Amino acid sequence: MNRKQIYSPIHKINKGKESDKDSTTTHCFKRLRVMINSGFIVRKIVERNQPAEVILTFGKAKIQDGRGTKQLGTEAAHNLPRDILINNRSMWAYLEDPECIFHARLKKQIYLTSAATVIVEKEANYIDSQWEKHGLLDIFSSYLYKCIEVKTDSENEFERLSEAGKQLTEDCQETLNNTKLIIKERKTYQRKIEKLDKIFDTYNITIKEFDYGYFINSILSIYRLPQYR
């Protein structure tokens, strides 16, 4: 599989709530969903690899599905905020680790989680990058660590993961609004204030409507299937 450019029908997976929405709503919804799901993936990798300690950091995305069009003012926005590094190795790099044995379906999901994008107006990518600089990565890291602490099939697994998902969702709302306060007086923002305000409003509405509990319950059921063990 080509790590530099992966084409996949990721936009066809899990149609439903976001399928009839505009690309900005779709991207925000998928970003929330991918962040939640990443906690399950990182937990799975750590349980398989069993490192003495776990240090999570973030790097630039190295694999990408899709690209925007300059003439249309669009860009491919990664749903996953940055590349997740587990002990300084990309999440998807563990798929080739002989100590980690994954089913083919799970391997594909990990690759797609890292590569998936939505084609959006370039202003949405600008907001994403500012959001990441002003708190999103910190709260995402905190969520991932909480998921690692919840062992597979442990007591109150769903409740503990749901609490972590709830906190992540609430923190997303707070950090997004803080980001807007930080950048709204900049010339870059003022030049495109109507468009940027609209994107912030769309993100806020999407976060408020995101049903983290339903999604966590669904993804937990999937990860209990034999092919995802």
Amino acid residing at 109? Q
Residue 11 predicted with pLDDT over 70: no
pTM, to two decimals: 0.87
Distance CA 188, CA 193 (A): 8
Our CA angle for 225, 227, 229, nearest 5°, is 70
Q: How many helices (H) and strands (E) does the chain have?
A: 8, 5
Question: How high is the pLDDT of residue 21?
Answer: 63
Average pLDDT taken over every residue of the chain? 87
* The amino acid at 138: D
If one counts every other C-beta atom within 10 angstroms of the C-beta of residue 27, the result is: 28
Residue type for 44, please?
Answer: K
The residues near 5 (Cβ < 8 Å, ≥ 6 apart) are 63, 64, 65
The amino acid at residue 8 is S
Phi, psi for 33 (deg, rounded to 5): -65, -45
d(CA 202, CA 110): 28
**Token output for 220:** 């937990």
Confidence band, pLDDT 50/70/90 cuts, at residue 5: very low
* 49-66 per-position pLDDT tens digit: 899 999 999 999 887 888
Neighbour tally for 208: CB within 10 Å: 9
Average pLDDT over residues 169-191: 97
Confidence of residue 1 (pLDDT cuts 50, 70, 90): very low
